[in-house]
Amino acid sequence: MKNMLRFALLSLLIGHSSSSFADPSPKGEYLRKGYYIVVAAYRIGHEKYMETYVDKLNKSGLHTKHGYDLGRKFYYIYLDYYTDFDESIHQMLKTRKEGGFTDAWVRVMPDMAPENSIIATTPVVEKMAEEKTTVEVQVASLTRTVPIDKEPEVIALPIVESTPGALPETTAIMSNKETVKAEPVRVLRTLANTPVYLSLVHSRNNRIVESEIEIIDTERTRVISKVKGNSYVMLPDPKSKSGQLTLNCNAFGYRKVQHEVNFKNNEMDTPYHYMVLMDSFYVVKFDLIRYHKGDISTLYSVYFYNDAAIMLPESTFELNSLLDMMNDNPKYKIKLHGHTNGKSHGKMITMGPGKNFFALTDDVKNGIGSAKDLSRERAQVIKDWLVSQGVAADRMEIKAWGGGRMIHEKESANAKKNVRVEVEVIEE
């Protein structure tokens, strides 16, 4: 599949590199209204390359088609067509994840786009001058006065809608054969009128990574919201002088990635290499790199029952991320650092013979232990869970700190964050 993508990109580059003074007429069908899962685009005049690629894809077991986009003046090779926007997005994401087309996108053909993907200009206004020596035509807030010999009998003007990247034009046709052509209307894409797709991928294999994105008002250094990665969102306006936003991705198992975007920039002055306008939406791409030797990260979403070395059921998501990391690189060796809130002795609950990692079952063991003992048991239960999932025990070490390295005061509002297990990469 990667070879197919390289072939498509090479063909597309060939199409862009050559040009002619007069493009030939398009061949085949035009794309009708709807939503298309597109995997490649070709310029007019390069039908041979397009047909070769379509044939190659279809021989591999796919059922691809192609059509011409009159607005963009491109042929698009698409896998499927939908009349429902949400379904098209769902299927596009599935195609990226399972079909091998990591750069597939949804092409929105007018005028079935959702409200935030198509910008309608002001409806046309027809107005006759009192003196009947001119006719004033207002199209999308552009006004032009045209002298005429006599009052026109009919002025036929459509309502204009602009789709992403298109330059809509309106023509007023008068009975005296004079034609008035309105100036092109261009509505530039900004973060205020365009959704953003937050793409989280493993940089080595382009596999989709599940995680959240923190949206931060850069100027005031405050978190505005958290959103799910690999989803379409409208970014919030920070309402600051700079308009700057910071997008943080802190996916467990990967080094933190931080991107800056500006709410005030439009598509003509967006300098970021990780941000690309694709038809009706921006893509902000987070290329995530696995941890290296010496990196330490906290399992913030692994939680324990009070006084217990038994995990709450909601811990499984981050545990699975740790498991993926260990399976992704068999050379990884890690050290699990256990920490508690304080240094006192007290009640301590550990797993029973049934080895239930996520419930206080009848066979749990009740005892007494130090904070250091509890931190050791909590790190150990994570190691035992990884072993139960097939990770070799000799790839993991345990270090118990008790309350020796608290990051917040014991009685503070954030004291619960002292109860944690950290993962240190000691070999890769």
220 SS3 class: coil
Distance CA 91, CA 66 (A): 18
**Residue ranges, CATH 2.60.40.1120, the chain:** 191-289
Distance CA 271, CA 84 (A): 33
pLDDT at 392 over 60: yes
For 296-427, CATH gives 3.30.1330.60
Q: Minimum mean pLDDT among 96-100, 196-200, 345-349, 401-405: which range?
A: 96-100
**Residue ranges, CATH 3.30.1330.60, the chain:** 296-427
Contacts of residue 87, defined as CB under 8 A and 6 or more positions apart, other chains included, come to 35
Burial class (CB in 10 A: 0-12, 13-18, 19+), 284: buried
Residue 376 sits at the vertex; the CA angle it makes with 372 and 377, to the nearest 5 degrees, is 120
Q: Residue 132: what pLDDT?
A: 37
Q: What is the pTM of this model?
A: 0.60
For 191-289, CATH gives 2.60.40.1120
Provide the residue type at 187 as one letter.
V
pLDDT in tens, 280-296: 889 999 999 999 999 99
Query: DSSP class of residue 313?
Result: G
pLDDT in tens, 152-171: 333 232 323 333 333 333 33
